[in-house]
Amino acid sequence: MKNFKNFKLKRFIYKLVINLVLSNEKIKKRVLAISSKVYADIENFNYDPESNGEYWLLKNLSTNYSETILDIGANIGEYSLKCYKYFPKSKIYAIEASPKTYKKLIKNTSNVLNIFTINKALSDSSEKKYFYERSDFSGRNTFEGKNTGLTYKNKIIIELIKGDYFLSEEGIEENIKIMKVDVEGYELKVLKGFENSLKNFKIDIIQFERSTAACTPSIFEFYDFLSPYGYYIGKLYPKYIEIYKNYKYTLEEYIGCNWIAVNKNSESFKSLNQKIKFIDEPPRRIG
């Protein structure tokens, strides 16, 4: 009976506070701003690679050996240059579709012999498509042209090729340590172009961006495609990786930037094992 009375009291206080917040527009905006900031921090909704875990991952994987790294959607080369810092003996392929952005990529990486710049676009098939560009922010260039709230005045036709064909053309036969894919909603299409490589366990770690603003496919689609090839899927945090062994619909509620797929049979998975938090049943984040 005592517990029931406590429950009723808590519920009464909760309703009282909610009504107070909703009745005052200034308080409501302030509460929403604070709660949104806290939620974003919990979910690592952070585009700064210095603090969101992207460079932490490179540091924890770095070796003195010669590795192969693919930076797909390299933009002006910031990630590729950081890869060179942590993997100075490795071959880093910086792949950028936009001809305008590619010129800046070449300029920024011209002094690094280990970075190979390539002006191509990857997909799951060989075709030609419209590519939408923004002059003010090249990080939002896309094949989809669907970024929420953005308009695209410039579009050009670009030829796309399958990832497996790209590897063959460039003579890349060795295993790929890291494949970073940031292509504004086209991530799954790019991954499907590497189907043969995935079947043959040639890619250790895939980092891909998922953003609702870029109309990225659902997490279920990534699980459906990658899991049969032996990949664990999870989210990248500042100092660890959260792996969700099984898909659950609640994963679709997770906001945030960078997701990780790790081949469970790779040496990279073994080296990261102490930095991974395994979760069997993903909790519900909203509601």
Structural domains in the chain plus CATH codes: 54-122+165-279 (3.40.50.150)
Tokens of 243: 């792996």
CA gap 112, 88 in Å, rounded = 10
Task: Give 86-142 pLDDT, tens digit per residue.
Answer: 999 999 999 998 888 899 999 999 999 999 999 999 999 887 877 776 655 555 566
CA gap 117, 96 in Å, rounded = 8
Percent of the chain with pLDDT over 70: 77
Task: Give 197-256 pLDDT, tens digit per residue.
Answer: 999 999 999 999 876 555 678 899 999 999 999 999 999 999 999 999 999 988 887 777
User: Residue 221's pLDDT is what?
Assistant: 95
User: Residue 102's pLDDT is what?
Assistant: 93
In sequence order, what are the residues at sequence separation of 6 or more whose Cβ sits closer than 8 angstroms to the Cβ of residue 33?
Answer: none
Pairwise pLDDT comparison (6 vs 73), residue with the higher score: 73
162 strand-pairing partners: 123
Residue 62's SS3 state is: coil
CB 133 within 8 A of CB 140: no
- Tokens 């959607």 found at: 73
Tokens of 36: 């949104």
User: Residue 241's pLDDT is what?
Assistant: 96
Q: Please determine, for residue 271, whether its predicted confidence score (pLDDT) is greater than 80.
A: yes
DSSP 119-154: --EEESS-EEEEEEE-SS-GGG-BSS---TT----E
Q: Please determine, for residue 75, whether its predicted confidence score (pLDDT) is greater than 60.
A: yes
Tokens of 222: 């990534």
Q: What number is the average pLDDT over the span 267-279?
A: 93
Angle at 139 (CA atoms; ends 133, 143), nearest 5 degrees: 45
- Going from the C-alpha of 89 to that of each of 57, 112, 181, 244, the distances in angstroms are 17, 11, 22, 33
CA gap 270, 276 in Å, rounded = 10
